[in-house]
Every structure is written in C-alpha cells, then in structure tokens.
Amino acid sequence: YRREIDGLRTVAVVPVLLFHAGVASFSGGFIGVDIFFVISGYLITSIIIHEQEKDGFSVLRFYERRARRIVPVLSFVLICCLPFAWAWMLPAQMKDFGASLIAVSLFASNVLFWQEAGYFAPSAELQPLLHTWSLAVEEQYYVVFPLAVMLLWRFGKPVVIAVIAAVALLSLGLAQYGSQNFAGANFYLPSSRAWELLAGSLSAFLVSSGYFRNSNLLSALGLALIGWGIFAYDAATPYPSFYTAVPVIGTALVILFGWQGTWTAKLLSTRPFVGIGLISYSLYLWHQPLFAFARIRALTEPSHAVMAALAIAAFPISYLSWRFVETPFRKGPIPFLPDSMRVLAGAGATAAVFIAAGFLATRDNGLEFRLPPEAQLALEVKENPDPIMIRCLYDKGEAKLDHPVRDCLTPNTNTPDTILIGDSHAAAIAGETMRTFEKAGADLYVMAHSACAGFSGFYVFDAKYKMRCNSFFSGIENYIRSSDIKTVVMLSRWTLYVEGTPFDNGEGGVESLKPIYADLYDRRDTPAGRDDPARKERVVKQYLADIEDYLKRGFHVVLVYPVPEAGWDVPGIVAKAALTRRDGLEFSTSYDLYNKRNEKIIAAFDTLSHPNLRKVKPADHFCDKPLRGRCINSLDAATIYYFDDDHPSDAGADQLAPAILQAVRSFDEGDQDADKLAGN
C-alpha cells in the first residue's frame, strides 16, 4: 500500500469535480481522468505481476475483486438517480437517461456518449451518467489486458514489456491522428486511451524489476506537469493527443520516483490528500449526477453559489457511500455472496435490473405521461417541426435543382413571382408564410440553405458548410434571373455570419451553437479570424452590394431584418417550468440586447433606400409588446414563438408572415398608382 497513490487520486478527482462545476480556472480539470487511467493501469498490473510470480494469476478472482470494487456503489448511485430523473427530466432527457442506464450496465457508456454528443458540448452537462464513460474504458481494458498478459507471460517479462510498449506507442499515434480526424471517437474509445493505462502498466513492470528510486526533482516535476495540464488546457485542446502525454508522464513520474521520503510523497501522504483519495471513487461517481440534476432542475445555468454548495456537499455524501456501501462490499465478507461465482452472478443480476429500468425509461416517449398537460403542449412545438421547413431547407450545396421544386411552392402556382430565400430562419417561417400567401391568393416559392446568408459569393468557417453556400445560391440566383420572379424576400441570420458568436441573452440562456461566421468566397484561401474587423466590414458591405444588385436588376426586394434570438430552448424552458410547477410560463429577453447585438446590421440596412425596397422589422412584432423593453419568447404553453433557442415556430412566423405579405402586395399597389399617374 502506498499512501501517496491515494493522495494522487485526490489530485485526479478534485480537478474533475471543479471542472464539471464550471470553475473557469480549472479549465483542464478533465485531465484527472488521465491520471486515474495511469493509476489504474499501474495498480492492476502490479496485482497481476505479484500473483503471477507468487502462485498464479486467477482471472476469476480478479473479476470478483473488480465487481466488489465497482458495482455496489455504482448501483447505489444509479438507484439514487432514478427518483430525480422521474421528477425532473423532460421526455427526451429521460430517453437519453434510459439509454445511459443500459450502456452503464453493459460498461459501454463510452460508445453511447460518443454517438450522442461531444464531452464538451453544453448538452453533455445534462447527462447525469456522462462520467461513466471512463469506467467503461477501464472495464474494457480489464477484459482484454489480464488475458493478454497471461498469454504472453510464458515468453518472459521482456516480451510482455515489449508488446505493451509497442501497443502503447500505436495507441498514442492513433490518439494524435484521431484528435485531428475523428475527435469524438478519439475521446471516448479505448483504442485512443489504451496507451494511458499501458503507461501505468509499464510503470508497474519497471517497479517490479527494480527500475525506480526516490527523486525529489523528478517526482516534483511530475506534479508540475499535472498542474500545467489542469490550468493550461481547456475544451479547445485536442484531446487525447500528444498533449495528453504531459499529465500521463507526470503521473508516471510521481509513481516511479515519488516514494515515501520525497517531498511529493510527504505532500500526497497528508491526511487531507489521503482522506479524499480514499473516497475518490465515490466522489467521482457522485459529482456528475449532483451537477447534472441541478442543471436539469434549474431553468437556466445554476449560480456559482449553487454549484459551489453542491461541490462541497459531494464530499460528505461520498464519505457516507464509501463508508457504508463501498468499503463493506469491497473488504468484508458478503454472506449472501460467499464465493467468486456468486459475486459475479450478483453483479450480472444487478446489471439486468438496471437494463430493464433503462428500457422502461425509453418507452412511451420517455415516460411522457409524467408531464402535466402544459408541459406536453409546449414540447409539441419542439417535437413537431413544420414539414415545409424540413422539405425546403437544404444543406448539401445543391446547385442543380429542377426549379421550381413543387413541395416548396404554394399549391395553386406553377410559375411563382415571389421567392423567399435565406438560411434556416427563412425555412422556419416558410410554412406559415406560404399558408398566409395561399389564403390571400398570392404565390410564394421558398429556397433556403442551412448556415448560409442567402447570397452566392460567401463561404462560412465551418467544415460541413464551407463551400456549399456559394454553389447553392449561385444556382438559385441563376433561376431567379431566368424566371418570372418579380419579388425577392430575404431573411437570414445576418448578424451570426458577421459576429460568429452564439447568442447569450445575459439571463442564463446561452445558445448551444458552435461559432460560425462568413467571409467572401474569393478569400477562402486566405482565412481571416472571427474577430477580424476587416472581415466583418467586408461581409456587411457585400450584404448591401448583393441587395443593391437585385434592385438594380429591377427586382422588388423585401428585406427582413434580424429575428430576435431567445438564447434558451423556449419550448424546453416552458415545459420545465410547467413540470416543476413554477408560476408563469411567459418568457422574454432584453430589447436593448437585441439592438446591441444587431447594431451593425440594423445601421447598414437603414442606409438602404430604393422605390423597389420594402423593409420588415421583426422587432416591431416581437419586442416592446406586450412587455415594455422586452422581446417576447412565449406567452403561455399554447403560444410559444420559437421551436428552439432562435428559430421562429409557426406562432412566431405568424407574427411576420402578414407583414411580409403586405410588403409584397405594396409593390402591386405602387405599380397601380404609377399606371394611374401615367394615364393622367
């Protein structure tokens, strides 16, 4: 037993806890998992070496110890999660939770979370079992590694060490390559993590062979490397990769050279370090459910005070589960499970129970019957998007479409004279606008593309959409010029492509969107930064030039100013408020913030003036009414103006569609007036 190893566990678990609590200075706290991997590899391999050299290694006994160590307290935490999931989770969250229960029980949660979301994505913070991905990696290692060592042992230690070193180098190379080419799989899968565990295994072989000594310098360097990773790394650091070698090497240095007598060992062997290290497994299991359920329960991100209180509360909770659940099962006899086979059978039966619970959680649309009617009504807005939006929102840069596409055209029209173009904001209002036009006996054609400003000549800084905007809108513009189109309605998320930043409403609602911004297509080989003022100026000027080009060519133009963004998932926040019985389902955001965020675009569009130009300002319909100084997001569960955090729902589109129709109709009225004047 090495007290300093328990102290090293504290160095691993506390940064992870503070990282998930949102403490900014611990931006690299996630490297605590890498420390755990090295420690685990070291301890497990030490056991295997000791038993092989003594009386032979028993795989059955090994798995019994693993089951005693891992399953009881994990099961206790899962049981404690169930009532909070029932009470607070929305249906989609419940389905995800059910899937994670199944995956955790099969020690495959790393595969599940790889498929669902990135570790650093905002949605990941709402996954109570997200942290179990590392347990899955370790368990997958435990399945393969002991058997591999047993097979290789007959060839001697040097062969075992050589094979482990070769596999570790291969895994490290894969991690570096994967960090640039398949980041999600790279983060979660054991193929890119094996080298970290194997670094611990190599350390165990070195220790068993006598290749270690006390060194104040090297062990202190190890701690320094770990500290560097904790405070210098962040979510943007490619991970795992060569960067991960810093904490891994640091941990190995502490294991190899931080024995009793060194400064490092004296620090790590103090009672606080050892005490927290002893409960580190329980603490690791408890911290994420505490934080995730707090975030699920709150309408917006919990305050720093709440997260700090939960972080502190995690310690006594973890002590109790260590003292009364983890320790008795791990070290004491279990009367009803007297031998290895029955321990493993008990672990399997426990897993089967949680798998069944997971399947139940995914039934009936995430047990939707739990929700009050208001919550179910609110979620219908999110779960039932307008089919016209789905049909008419393209995303592959389609340049050659057979125009007009029948499904994106008002039913009684074959040769439209009005077209609505833009990005997903245009697509979001398309259905309601098309129905409004149809009722009025007017025609409308809709063509929209995700993440594109609505003109050719642009590209966006996004791997998926980079070149697609130019090709798609080149095809649309060719069609417009060769068709009977008279009026072009333009609606895009103009500010996003200039500023590149997701919307933060300043009240706890931060849009879940990675930064995306635009520049001119002919500058695609000389990329500019998101914050480059020259780039922003170019984009705004090109907006104006493209609008003016349509006007010069004789088209009527209806220019729709930026739609107010919400920042929070409006149906979700309304449903959550109803589920948790809060008073009031009316939500809104600051009108002043809308003006500040969109000031460049508003000022630029205000400079445009032309007889064939009409302007529709969504703020006139969403803001300052019914609440002074606010932009309305929802009035109640039946009147929700967004289907997510920025796209108008049909109710929101209904605020704009009549104004757009009126603007289009005004051109006809203007033409009639001109004809009368000519007749006079």
390-432 pLDDT, tens digit per residue, is 999 999 989 889 999 999 999 988 899 999 999 999 999 999 9
Starting at the edge strand found earlier in the chain, the sheet holding 613-616 runs 393-394, 445-449, 418-422, 487-491, 556-560, 613-616
Residue 672 confidence (pLDDT): 47
Is omega for the bond preceding 626 within 30 degrees of 0, making it cis?
yes
Query: Taking residues 498-504, what's their average pLDDT?
Result: 95
Q: Are strands 458-460 and 556-560 parallel, antiparallel or unpaired?
A: unpaired
Query: Taking residues 499-510, what's their average pLDDT?
Result: 93
- The angle subtended at Cα 295 by Cα 293 and Cα 300, nearest 5°, is 155
Q: Is the pLDDT of residue 631 over 90?
A: yes
Is omega for the bond preceding 387 within 30 degrees of 0, making it cis?
no
- The angle subtended at Cα 183 by Cα 180 and Cα 186, nearest 5°, is 105
Q: 636 pairs with which residues across the strands?
A: 639
- The angle subtended at Cα 55 by Cα 52 and Cα 59, nearest 5°, is 60
Residue 305 confidence (pLDDT): 95
Residues 582, 574: Cα–Cα separation, whole Å = 10
Residue 330: pLDDT band with limits 50, 70, 90: confident
Q: What percent of the chain has pLDDT over 70?
A: 98
Is omega for the bond preceding 240 within 30 degrees of 0, making it cis?
yes
Residues 469, 497: Cα–Cα separation, whole Å = 12
Query: Residues 226, 32: contact at Cβ < 8 Å?
Result: no
Q: Is the pLDDT of residue 337 over 80?
A: no
For residue 509 the two structure tokens come to: 């609602």
HSE-up (13 A, CA, CB side) for residue 429 = 33
Residue 244: pLDDT band with limits 50, 70, 90: very high
Q: Is the pLDDT of residue 563 over 90?
A: yes
Q: Is the pLDDT of residue 446 over 60?
A: yes
> Which residue do the tokens 């036009």 mark?
437
Residue 679 confidence (pLDDT): 41
Residues 139, 13: Cα–Cα separation, whole Å = 19
φ, ψ of residue 237 in degrees (nearest 5):
-70, 125
> Taking the model in full, what pTM does it have?
0.87
Residue 675 confidence (pLDDT): 39
Query: Taking residues 319-346, what's their average pLDDT?
Result: 86
Q: Is the pLDDT of residue 121 over 90?
A: no
- The angle subtended at Cα 45 by Cα 42 and Cα 49, nearest 5°, is 130
Average pLDDT, the chain: 93
Residues 128, 404: Cα–Cα separation, whole Å = 48
Closest CA to 447 of 424, 413, 466: 424
Residue 678 confidence (pLDDT): 37
Give 124-141 pLDDT, tens digit per residue: 899 999 999 999 999 999
Residue 480 confidence (pLDDT): 96
Backbone dihedral region of 331: left (phi > 0), alpha (psi from -120 to 50 degrees) or beta? alpha
Q: Is the pLDDT of residue 191 over 80?
A: yes
Give 247-303 pLDDT, tens digit per residue: 999 999 999 999 999 999 999 999 999 999 999 999 999 999 999 999 999 998 899
CB burial readout 301-335, b (16+ within 10 A) else e: bbeeebbeebbeebbebbbebbeebbbebbeeeee
Q: What percent of the chain has pLDDT over 90?
A: 85
Q: Is the pLDDT of residue 369 over 90?
A: yes
Query: Residues 653, 643: contact at Cβ < 8 Å?
Result: no
